[in-house]
Amino acid sequence: MPTCGNYKLRKKLGEGGFGAVYLAKHIDTKKKVALKIIKPEMMEHVNMDDIEKEVEILKQIDHPYITKLVEAGHCELSSRGRTNEVYCIALEVASGGELFDFISMTGAFSEDVARYFFHQFLDALEYMHEKGISHRDLKTENILLDKDFNLKIADFGYASEKGSNQTQVGTPDYMAPEILQGEKYSGQIADIFGAGLILFMMHAQSKAFLKAEQSDPYYKNIASNRPDKFWKEHIKSKGDETYFSEEFKDLVTGLFAYNPFHRLTIAEVRSHPWFNGTVPTSEDIADEFNRRKENLDEELRRQRDEDPTQAEFDTSLLEGNSVHRGIGDSDEESKEVCEREEQEYDEDFENYHKFFSTSSVEDLWTNLCAYVTGITGEYKFSADEYSISAKVVKEEEEKEEKKESVKEEPIEFLVNILKVPEQEKHCIDATVIKGNKFNFTDQFRDLKKFFGGHANATLAD
């Protein structure tokens, strides 16, 4: 396995414009970290001042519901006999995985369970704001869980210490309206808007809207001060008039306010009746999550016992162009590229989008490449690991009543094939990089069915 300074890489967690993120283990202490690696070729495209600023902000933060910085600096990355100098940021790893992976696979939270996590989230947000720090990229992908089911806010790449900002950073789907409009804005007030999005998704298991613009079929009702119509649409989709309590609707509406100066403050949220409702104990949460995991495991066992779906793919995709090569690789490069190193499966790092197989890694890799090349032309094979990143554009849908065209951003995801230590099987592990997480879950289920038809996929541990 590749090593980076004092760390041994174990699993790729994601990719971005700055490079890649890995689960890694310290060679001497065996401590696990999430390791951001900025390679030399990426240093020309990223502002290292911004990277170092992120590190300086993280050094100021010490809170139980925020991921901690372990160390950062230049070090050497060694892989397959080659060594390069890279910049690494080692962060506390949240072994429980992403909170919203859990929701997308096991269902929405009740208002009481959502309230438990929202209390933790608001504690962390208030702590940051009191230090003069705004996150500016609060979204579902950046909410993690530790092994004890405590929430952790992650990824401070866009964090700011300025009282007023104008740079349009973050993820468009989660940006506050004032950011989308290119106005000067308060990062802290924009964070409040992000808090509303996260709370809504915890309870609704869906996005509140596609983008905070007056043209959005949902958000336009908030912007025009017609929250009754906004909630009517969401209640209709749930098919239950009582799904959202009146107190929940009132709080979320206040967090979504179009005018940033009309948005609720943290003090107002803390005094709100919904926030002060019943809160489960940590034992209740552990019981709830363990029950959900048992139900998910049972579903995986049931799928394993059923006849697999026989998906079809065009085998000509595999002829004349080795699927072991990345796009644009030459024949001379192919021999080296084929010498991929297997990353290790780590049972202590939870991911709910995974399944297992006793097929060989080469058979699994062939099937993975066939699946990805069959659904999209935008993909990238890793040259070092059994890993593929891909982008899938979801077709436009029309709302039945108003015939409004609804276009969602592409889903970008990463799939790893991991060797399970001391066992004759592999884990096929998928992670969303960008896009609607619930659409990604549908894509993952298609991937799992495909493998059920073409490889010895057991679908459960």
Cβ atoms within 10 Å of 340's Cβ, excluding its own: 20
Choose, from 28, 49, 112, 137, the residue flagged as catalytic.
137
112 labelled catalytic: no
Instruction: Give the separation between CA 323 and CA 320, rounded to whole angstroms.
Output: 9
Long-range (24+ apart) CB contacts under 8 A made by 71-76 are 75/4, 75/5, 75/6, 76/4, 76/5
Is residue 229 marked as binding?
no
Residue with tokens 């989008």: 353
Contacts 24+ apart (CB under 8 A), 228-236: 234/204, 234/206, 234/208
Asked if 380 contacts 373 with a C-beta cutoff of 8 angstroms, the reply is: no
Question: What's the distance, CA 454 to chain centroid?
Answer: 28
d(CA 246, CA 229): 14
Binding residue numbers: 36
- Residues with a known catalytic role: 137
Binding residue numbers for ATP: 36
